[in-house]
Amino acid sequence: AKVAGKNCYRFYSRAMDQAVERRVHLEHELRGAWERGELSLVYQPVFCLVDDAMIGAEALLRWQHPERGLVAPSVFIDVAEQSGLIETLGPQVLHAACEDAVRWQQLRPQGEPLFVAVNVSPRQLRSGDLPQVVAASLRETGLSADLLHLELTETAVIGDEAQASNLLTRLRGMGVKVWLDDFGTGFSGLSHLRRVPVDGVKIDRSFIADVLRDPDDLALTTAIIAMAHSLGITVVAEGVEREGQYAILRERGCDLAQGYWLGHPLPAAEFLALLR
């Protein structure tokens, strides 16, 4: 028994070591990945449900690892967040997205301007210099502030609500739009919206996934739309994969939508080609 116990201990400790080791490896390899050209942005179009027009796109980060292949953002964003790497990576992403968005407008001088939505992690939000970082990107690229949307997760603004709302007010004062991402998953409830000043909410795709089958999910989605509209807030649905979902969201008065049925995320060059 003693031996087995010992082996057991060894087994667990080795498994743990491996998990830690993998993280340390990933962190090490992520350092400088942007400079080596392994990281890039893809853009997923966002559509207006009133007239079916494309009105903007969300920037999503991709890591093409030289040996591991494509690493999921759900894995490496977390590593970047935990290690603090996000504080250098975040501003690089923001700058690149603004730069790309300026090109989009140049391609369609007569068309409606297209916004770019950029994900901002909780750590970037807490870092304190987000307004300066945003201002620098806008200044250096010349993107009009109202064409930049920042997506913050609901959980990032929970906690110190006063401080968060202060920061969001500053950002919105600069003219950028602030959206709450993954809305409905953070248990903060709709009352949260009264205290945190945002321009829009993105209903989490876990609600959209079952909106045709699960009456509860439809009721929740409808309630979010009604509540948001009563506060003057725009509603975006993400993860629209079928025409039926699109139809019911439009019927319920949802403003904007994105998802595989409408358009997959595209590499920057392909997204540009789509605009031509």
**Secondary structure (DSSP) of 146-203:** GGEEEEEEHHHHSS-HHHHHHHHHHHHHTT-EEEEEEETSSS--TTHHHHS--SEEEE
Relative to beta strand 39-48, strand 266-267 is: antiparallel
Per-residue interface string for the shown chain with ligand C2E, residues 28-47, x marking contact by CB under 6 A: ----------------x---
Question: Which uninterrupted H or E stretch holds 21?
Answer: helix 2-30
* 255 near Ca ion, judged by CB under 5 A: no
Q: Which of 98, 115, 119, 156 binds Ca ion (CB under 5 A)?
A: 119
Q: Is 156 in the site for ligand C2E (CB under 6 A)?
A: no
Q: Does residue 121 interact with ligand C2E by CB under 6 A? A: yes
Binding residue for ligand C2E (CB under 6 A) from 79, 93, 150, 198?
93
Q: Is 239 in the site for ligand C2E (CB under 6 A)?
A: yes
Q: Which is nearer to ligand C2E, 18 or 132 (CB)?
A: 132
Tokens standing for residue 262: 């409408």
Residue 125 interacts, among Ca ion, ligand C2E, none and using kind-specific CB cut-offs from 5 to 8 Å, with none
Look up residue 145 and give its DSSP letter.
Answer: G
154 binds, among ligand C2E, Ca ion, none (CB under 5 to 8 A by kind): none
E strands, the chain, are 39-48, 54-65, 69-71, 115-120, 148-153, 177-183, 200-203, 234-237, 256-257, 266-267
Stretch 162-181 residues interacting with Ca ion (CB under 5 A) = 181
Contact track, ligand C2E, 63-82, x by CB under 6 A: ---------xxx--x-----
Q: Pick between residue 181 and residue 255 the one whose CB is nearest to Ca ion.
A: 181
- How far apart CA 196 and CA 157 sit, in angstroms, is 8
